[in-house]
Structure 1
Amino acid sequence: MPDAPLKELLATIGMNGERLAGRVNALAETLRLPQRVHPKTPYKWIQGQTPKPPWRSLVVQVLSQELGRTITVEEMGWPPDEPDTVPAAAGLQTPWTAAGTLRALRAVTHAGLMDRRHFMMLMGTALTAPAHEWLIAHPAQAAARAAGSNVPISVVDDLDHITDRLRRMDDQIGGGQLLSLIHEHLRYVTTLLDEHSYTATVGRRLHATAGELLRLAGFAAFDDNQHARAQRYWIAGLHAAHTAGDRALGANILGFMSCQAKDLDGGREAVILAETARSAYPGASPKVRAILALRAAEASANDQTATATRRAATTNRAIDAAFDALADQPTSTGDPGWSYWMNLSQAHAQAGYCHMKIGDYRQARFHLRRALKLQDSTYSRERALRKFLLATTYIKQQQPDLDAALAQANEGVAILSSEVNSARCLGHLRRFADALTPFRRSAPAKDFLAQSRALINSRP
């Protein structure tokens, strides 16, 4: 059997079979895959044997990292995995340059929502590595392009207006229904960057628009439980924010990555991402400072590697920093448009969540009630989330109040049934239903569970 391309590539990077086995096993562990390969097995691949899934995808991922360019299974002469199983960062290990950003944008947008590959979520250092790279990357050169028809700045203004409307639609109906629309808008912006001419100023604006769309698409995917896809959007978004020279946007994307890690029990990763975001942002916008401080508070409240005392102390410090920031006056440049959602209502809601996680249910209720009182009625998803959180505080307190809990939960169910499509909201409903276990024999709890059964048992 003839030698496979693997032999030549391993010789180029000075890696033998045992080291390759170690690298792919480490990657498998990071991705929480149960399989491991024997240290001698790669020698069979070197001699031309085709690896079984998921090793084909993991080998090309290791090779891509080592060579600094994308290696595909087809280039190796192998058939794709069935399904093609790759880490969420596949194709996104690009240079922190305008050209590298375009490669990342193409990798995310051109594949489309029907990409047949199965993306595996990044965990551990694989998740925090893009944050570190973004933090230390040299500033990108001017993002101008000379070829193609010109993009006037008025077009960017129109694109940003559409992006703003998509953000507000997401607030009202949830991300799952909007993802395809956001993706297509992002694809159009990518085409402008890739095929048209623009000045450096317009180029930076277009990259910032792409970065915010990637942030929004990632959140829509996250809200729909498409976690690996969310990570792909966000990593590409970091590249776009870097090319735009927009530190606040990049820090905000890291904040959302932290939020996801926190929800998926990645306590330490959530803290690292949140604190990286805070350290990277110079702090001109009060709203952005508040957003990043509250992400850090949420991460700390969920960090099970810390003691209860430390969790409470770091959480409260971050909450205090957020409210202090909101009390400041914005600078002459104002707050970024995407930070519109951060206000006292949102700050109280996130503070309430944090106090609930550290077991301070009285303080949690104070903040959640303030959030609901101050809330704009158009934020349906947030209202449902807050109702479920408030209901949970009544159930988990030392002397549970079932009637108060069910009153709040029923209001949340009504919103979720009629207005919002959000897997995250469903998750909070299911967690509340689980908390009702000690009360399942009571008539009110039985009625609630029966009436909300269709929602509780709906798609994950």
Structure 2
Amino acid sequence: MAEKKHPLAHARKAIGLNQVEFAQEIRQAAERRGLRSGATKQRVYKWETEGVTPDADSQAYIAEVFGVPAAAVDPRSWPHWLPGTGGMVIPLGPASTVPALREALLTTMERSRRTFLSTVSSSALVALAGTWASTDGLALVGDATHRGTAVGEELVALLEETSARLTAQATEQRQHTAPLIDALLTTVANIIEDGRHSQPIALRLHALACGLSQTLGWHRFDLGLHTEASQYWIAGLHSAHGGGDRDMGAALLGDLAYQASWRGDPRTAVGILERALSGARHPAARSLLHLRLARALAAQGEQRATLRSLSAAEHFLHASSGEPMPPWCAWMSNADLAVDSGQALLDLGDTRRAHQLICEGKELLPPSRDKTRGVFLVYEARSHLDLGEPERAAAAAQEALRVAQRIGAPRCIKLVRDLAPAFSAYPEVQGVSELLARVAA
């Protein structure tokens, strides 16, 4: 059991290698330098179970196997420089897609790993965003003649169709579909790793991995599993980088930034979003990122910067690029612009204008977006409270709770619960006692 607790064992499993295979990869890394390594299964076992520290040369070879840059390796800090430990992340690189996908999938399979796989540090996220912003996507080169029968069009089309059907399911069905999406992502990771495909197929596989990772990240985020959510979004970023999809990479950074804001860290959110915006291309993508940036800036009380970002979000939402909106932000609408603008203004103290925008946005929202409606209703409730209208606030909060409980949306339920203490000053107001009782149930 001790082996499973060591960061090296977790990092090794994340790239799908057993101890024999890992030792072989280390020896090959040494050979590429014209050197020799005595790495064996037994030596790997000692590193993982007996507290033996690899020498500096062995650590350099280990770093190469994981795709960790040599500059990031400090032999004195073993094992804390390993990917997935100490809040660090797997760095972007030519062979980082599959390790990042494995890391995310393994995080879900072994939730007890949180001793080592704690939430990714803020500095690591901002640094990752900076690396993404300063590098172009990688040119994928598949090898259809490599190791047997190549992966063909028909199989990839089936995977794409299955993904589309699973990810389109309503919120209340996600508890049933999430394990299937995990399994589908595992299959895609295996195919990418095998390398038996042409470049066009490789690009489609990376796009699949992006979309699946993003969906799984939001599923975990809605359940409050933040470590898993961030690992999936990071894995999606690696896949987008490998496939050269800049807008999708910006989207995944935007998701990581949204999570940082949600967890009360708007400074990190701003750092990520500023870098994401430097690489986003489609106007709709830039609109969404500016809107999230405005929310983060408002949380820090930066009025002028907030208003500039809100203006940019509105401008880009209505700008034409001649290209269809990317699927990941096709839902972006005037409703989202109005409500999130209202939330930003609420944080800045412009309560009446904020309330007006939130109510307008809620009315514009299509009936199909129930989960978003529940969140918007909580925002409306908060604005009613700030206006000194507790009865209306209680009605909006109760409606939000009904929607969230009907569709199974834990994140929305948490929003209502977090707002509940603000009603304690109005125990005699109609609807407040009922709301508090339902929240406490």
Please name the residue that 1:394 is paired with.
384
**Distance in 1 of aligned mates of 2:175 and 2:343:** 23
Please give the secondary structure, in 2, of the residue aligned with 1:169.
coil
- Give the equivalent residue in structure 2 for 1:10: none
Partner of residue 414, structure 2? 427
Deviation string 1:322-343 (CA, Å, 9 cap, x unpaired) is: 1111212241x32212222111
User: Following superposition, which runs of at least 4 residues in structure 1 exceed 6 angstroms of deviation?
Assistant: 63-66
Residue 412 to residue 145, structure 1, CA distance change in 2 (3 Å): same
CA contact (8 A) 1:383 1:412 kept: yes
Q: CA deviation at 1:95?
A: 5.0
Q: 2:334 aligns with which of 344, 360, 378?
A: 344
User: Which AA in structure 2 matches 1:428?
Assistant: L
1:363/1:162 Cα in 2 relative to 1: closer, same or farther (>3 Å)?
A: farther
Bigger fraction of residues in helix: 2
Q: Which runs of 5+ in 2 are unaligned?
A: 1-48, 68-74
Please tell me the residue identity of whatever aligns with 1:144: G
Deviation digits for residues 352-399 of structure 1 (CA, Å, limit 9, x no counterpart) = 2222222222222222222221111111110111111101111123xx
Task: Name the structure 2 match of 1:210.
Answer: 209
Q: Residue 293 in 1 paired to residue 290 in 2?
A: yes
Q: Are 1:313 and 2:304 counterparts?
A: yes
Letter in 1 for 2:371: R
Separation (CA, whole Å) in 1 of partners of 2:221 and 2:175: 9
Q: CA deviation at 1:426?
A: 2.0
Query: What is the distance in 2 between the residues matched to 1:65 and 1:214?
Result: 29
C-alpha distance in 2 between matches for 1:65 and 1:175: 41
AA of the residue aligned to 1:383? R
Q: Does the CA contact (< 8 Å) of 2:381 and 2:393 recur in 1? A: yes
Question: SS of the counterpart of 1:280?
Answer: coil
Measured at CA, do residues 155 and 289 of structure 1 come closer, stay the same or move farther in structure 2, by a change above 3 Å? Answer: farther
Within the alignment, does 1:235 sit opposite 2:234 as a pair?
yes
CA distance in 1, matches of 2:217, 2:232: 5
What SS is found at the alignment partner of 2:184? helix
Shift of 1:163: 3.1
Secondary structure at the aligned position of 2:96 is classed as helix
Match of 2:316 in 1: 325
Q: Output one character per residue of 1:39-74: Cα deviation in whole Å (capped at 9) or x when no partner.
A: xxxxxxxxxx977xxxx99xx9xx799945559xxx
> What does residue range 17-416 of structure 1 map to in structure 2 within 5 Å?
67=63, 69-70=65-66, 86-87=85-86, 89=88, 92-94=89-91, 96-97=93-94, 99-109=95-105, 112-118=108-114, 119-146=117-144, 147=146, 148-169=148-169, 172-173=171-172, 178-195=177-194, 197-281=196-280, 283=281, 285-303=282-300, 308=301, 311-331=302-322, 333-397=323-387, 400-416=388-404
- Read off the aligned partner of 2:416 and give its amino acid letter: L
Give 1:219's aligned amino acid.
Answer: W
CA distance in 2 between counterparts of 1:174 and 1:426 reads 17
Q: Structure 1 residues 50 and 179, CA, compared in 2 at 3 Å: closer, same or farther?
A: same
Q: 1:327 to 1:202 in 2, by over 3 A?
A: same
1:252 to partner: Cα distance: 0.4
- Aligned equivalents of 2:91, 2:65: Cα separation in 1: 7
Secondary structure (helix, strand or coil) at the match of 1:234 reads helix
TM-score (norm 1): 0.73
Rounded Cα–Cα distance in structure 2 between residues aligned with 1:385 and 1:165: 25
The whole-number CA distance in structure 1 between the counterparts of 2:107 and 2:315 is 43
Whether the 8 Å contact between 1:301 and 1:358 is mirrored in structure 2 is yes
Provide closer, same or farther for how the CA distance between residues 124 and 445 of structure 1 changes in structure 2, counting only shifts above 3 A: same
Aligned partners of 2:432 and 2:386: how far apart in 1?
Answer: 15
Aligned-partner SS, 1:452: helix
The Cα offsets for residues 229-257 of structure 1, whole Å up to 9 and x where unpaired, read as: 11111222111101100000000000011
1:26 maps to what in 2? none
AA of the residue aligned to 1:312: Q
Q: Which amino acid aligns with 1:389?
A: Y
Q: 1:156 to 1:414 in 2, by over 3 A?
A: same
Give the number of aligned pairs.
372
Could you give the per-residue CA deviations for residues 213-236 of structure 1, whole angstroms, max 9, x where no partner exists?
A: 112211211111111111111222
For 1:230 and 1:269, locate their aligned partners in 2 and report how far apart those are by CA, in whole Å.
16
Q: Secondary structure of the equivalent of 2:342?
A: helix
Letter in 1 for 2:197: Y
Q: What are the superposed Cα offsets for residues 149-186 of structure 1, whole Å, 9 maximum, x if unpaired? A: 3333454344334333344325x338666432321221
Closer, same or farther in 2 for the Cα pair 1:95/1:168, shift >3 Å?
A: closer
Q: How far apart are the structure 1 equivalents of 2:274 and 2:332? A: 19
Distance 1:430 1:216, change over 3 A: same
Aligned-residue Cα RMSD (Å) equals 3.1
Tell me the distance in 1 between the aligned counterparts of 2:151 and 2:212.
18
Distance 1:325 1:225 in 2: 31
Pair 1:176–1:150, CA change in 2 (3 A): same
TM-score, normalization by structure 2: 0.76
Residue 286 of structure 1 deviates from its aligned partner by 2.5
SS of equivalent to 2:197 = coil
Question: Do the aligned partners of 2:283 and 2:319 also contact (CA within 8 Å) in 1?
Answer: yes
| AA at the equivalent of 1:104 | A
Q: Residue 131 of structure 1: CA displacement?
A: 1.2
How far residue 418 of structure 1 moved from its aligned partner, in angstroms, is: 1.4
Equivalent residues of 2:182, 2:216 under 8 A apart: yes
> Which amino acid letter does the alignment assign opposite residue 127 of structure 1?
L
Q: Which amino acid aligns with 2:276?
A: A
